Structures are given as C-alpha cells and as structure tokens.
C-alpha cells in the first residue's frame, strides 16, 4: 500500500508532466517520412493545416531529420504555400545540416540528427481555412538519400 503522502507527490508530479507536455501554442505539427529508397526530385510532401486564428502572429518552422550518411552539408527545399483563397506563395529555403568543419548540427546521437529551421518569425494568416504546404527538395540529384523525414511546425508567438 502506498502512503497518502506519496500518492499526492505522485499525483503532483504527474500533473506537472502532463501540463508541461501540452503546449497550447502549437497550432500544427506533422512530420512525413521519406521512403528508404530516397527522395525523388519530383516527389513532394504535402501538409494541410486548418488555421482558425487570424489575429495572432505565428512562427513557421521546418523540421529535418537526416542520417549521418547524408552526403551534403546543406539541403535546399522548395516550399509552396497555398492559401484558402487560392493564392500561392513560393520560396526556396537552405537548411544547413553540417558546419564548415563537417560536424553535424542539431541534436541526436547515433546515425540520426534533428534540426528545426525557422522559416518565418512573424507569420500572419489572413483568413481561416485550410493552408496547404508542399515541399520538395531542390538538390541536384534525381534521388536524394540520407533525409529520414521532414515536417512543418506552426506555433503562436
């Protein structure tokens, strides 16, 4: 039998962990795995976020997980954002995955590294509805190897 004092400590600890794990500022977050056979330059990742908050500013980030077998120090991505009204925004993003000495950036151990790249810091969504994010790589290879997954994260500032 657990003493009453220990039950309260356990309950308090569990509540703190639960509250810490819940981040109300995250509006959307999703990762998509890249096939083991590689990322073909014509293949794109599609993310669809339903945005209801048109008043707050947001941060838009890209999450990249790469293996240490990735042959380059950077990754160029083409990002296309389709607004609910049909407008489209296109941009090119360079993600630096290794420093000038060849050391991998980001966190992780073993063969996998994780990086979060801030794309825009003051994003305002002008209308409610579904925003579609389309990502494909812009490297000079037909099939790119060493990228494990890519994701989008939108959070309120």
- The pTM of the full predicted model, rounded to 2 decimals, is 0.82
Taking phi over 0 as left and psi of -120 to 50 as alpha, with beta for the rest, 24 belongs to alpha
Helix (H) or strand (E) holding 88, with range, is strand 88-96
Strand order in the sheet with 45-51: 45-51, 129-137, 74-82, 88-96
Q: Stretch 75-84: mean pLDDT, rounded?
A: 98
pLDDT band at 112 (very low <50, low <70, confident <90, very high): very high
Query: Does residue 64 contact residue 115 with C-beta atoms inside 8 Å?
Result: yes
pLDDT band at 46 (very low <50, low <70, confident <90, very high): very high
Query: Does residue 63 contact residue 148 with C-beta atoms inside 8 Å?
Result: no
| Percent above pLDDT 90 for the chain | 84
Q: Which CATH architecture has domain 25-156?
A: Sandwich (2.60)
44 against 20, higher pLDDT: 44
Q: Which two tokens stand for residue 102?
A: 């060849």
- Give the C-alpha distances (Å, rounded to integers) separating 60 from 24, 31, 38, 84: 15, 14, 26, 17
DSSP letter (8 states) at residue 107: B
Nearest in space to 24 (alpha carbons), one of 116, 155, 128: 155
Nearest in space to 120 (alpha carbons), one of 91, 143, 149: 91
Work out the mean pLDDT of the chain and round it to a whole number. Answer: 90
Q: Where are the alpha helices (DSSP H) in the chain?
A: 4-21
Helix (H) or strand (E) holding 50, with range, is strand 45-51
């Amino acid at each position: 039998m657990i003493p009453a004092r220990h039950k309260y400590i356990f309950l308090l600890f569990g509540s703190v962990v639960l509250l810490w794990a819940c981040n109300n500022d995250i509006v959307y977050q999703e990762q998509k795995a890249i096939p083991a056979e590689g990322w073909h330059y014509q293949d794109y990742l599609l993310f669809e976020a339903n945005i209801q908050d048109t008043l707050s500013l947001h941060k838009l980030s890209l999450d990249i997980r790469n293996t240490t077998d990735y042959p380059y120090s950077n990754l160029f991505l083409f990002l296309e954002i389709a607004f609910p009204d049909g407008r489209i925004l296109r941009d090119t993003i360079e993600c630096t995955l290794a420093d000038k000495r060849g050391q991998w950036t980001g966190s992780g151990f073993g063969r996998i590294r994780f990086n979060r790249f801030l794309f825009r810091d003051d994003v305002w969504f002008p209308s409610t509805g579904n925003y579609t994010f389309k990502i494909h790589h812009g490297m000079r290879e037909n099939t790119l190897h060493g990228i494990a997954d890519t994701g989008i994260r939108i959070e309120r500032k």
